[in-house]
Structure 1
């Protein structure tokens, strides 16, 4: 569809937006692929439930199972405008852009050599997933970096068990923190789910 000629008011509105603008509206519809937002200052959309759209990765820094864990239809939201989708003629929005990044907060308050405690979230074939809190999860792998065995997940750890780890390195650009086990120097990588 040629949105520019079919819906010139909608097109003009979307072109007037600048990256970083804060837009408010009401959650109009929730789908498995994202959330439509009826913007307060925007026109209606001829084919979609709202002119604004929140993709799943833009809903929250935190891990969640479904969009309804974050927002509900009819809820008022304020979002940051991150782009103009010319194919669908919609404003791409981010809810998480207006929230503090828990990984950045973790990196700001954590130093190399610091001992942390976390809870075993899952025992996986590749290692132990550890919840360090505030949306940051760590992986204690079954092998050290040099290939020697590090831990035996099935034998040594249980879901819900609290364990100690030590920060070895923080990689902000890749959003990873590397850890070791205090008693054995075991190596681990921490990731923040997207």
Structure 2
């Protein structure tokens, strides 16, 4: 575990001045956290999680010899909400959620705080020729059934079609 202060924010991550950084003759004590390593949640910008001047404790991932900096992870210091969610849900279970995104191959539904699953186009309705905007809009509340939980890849597959075809 390394501690330091956020000193600069870029669109691709944040720079951290480390209290006890790896020795390097040119850039001693510089660390970098990429956007995906800031949080388990999907974020738009580093400022969604940290601010310049903020103290952070991070896990050391590796020393980047090309950029001469320590690669760090803030999210590694926090429990993975997907794994906690997966502990409490089972394949076949009905969930309620809100549509967060429409894509050509289906829709994403938020079924818990920070947990989204994919309803593939073929699982959207019993009529397969639909496109997502023909069926639902972002913000709609939907009932879905869990079809797959992939802990390793942190993916949740859902079906809206199966949720509506089962007796209530």
Question: In which range does the TM-score fall when normalised by the shorter chain?
Answer: 0.7 to 0.9
**Does residue 17 of structure 2 align to residue 28 of structure 1?**
no
The more displaced of 84-93 and 109-118 is 84-93
Runs of 4+ in 1 over 3 A off after TM superposition: 42-50
Contact in 1 for aligned 2:27/2:68 (Cα 8 Å): no
**Does residue 121 of structure 2 align to residue 142 of structure 1?**
yes
CA 1:162–1:177: 2 relative to 1, 3 Å: same
How far apart are residue 50 of structure 1 and its match?
Answer: 5.5
**Does residue 133 of structure 2 align to residue 154 of structure 1?**
yes
How far apart are residue 143 of structure 1 and its match?
Answer: 2.2
C-alpha distance after superposition, 1:63-101 (max 9, x if no partner):
111111111110000001111112232211100001111
How far apart are residue 45 of structure 1 and its match?
Answer: 7.1
2:99 to 120, 123, 147: 120
Q: Match for residue 4 of structure 1? A: none
C-alpha distance after superposition, 1:81-122 (max 9, x if no partner):
111112232211100001111111111111112111110112
Contact in 1 for aligned 2:13/2:34 (Cα 8 Å): yes
Q: Match for residue 75 of structure 1? A: 54
TM-score relative to the length of structure 1: 0.73
1:173 to 152, 163, 166: 152
How many pairs were matched up?
A: 161
Q: Matched residues in 2 for 1:55 and 1:34: separation?
A: 4
Secondary structure, in 3 states, of the residue corresponding to 1:143? helix
Q: Match for residue 192 of structure 1? A: none
Q: Matched residues in 1 for 2:59 and 2:14: separation?
A: 14
TM-score relative to the length of structure 2: 0.83
How far apart are residue 133 of structure 1 and its match?
Answer: 2.5
How far apart are residue 184 of structure 1 and its match?
Answer: 3.0
How far apart are residue 36 of structure 1 and its match?
Answer: 0.8
Q: CA-atom RMSD, angstroms?
A: 2.4
Q: Matched residues in 2 for 1:149 and 1:157: separation?
A: 14
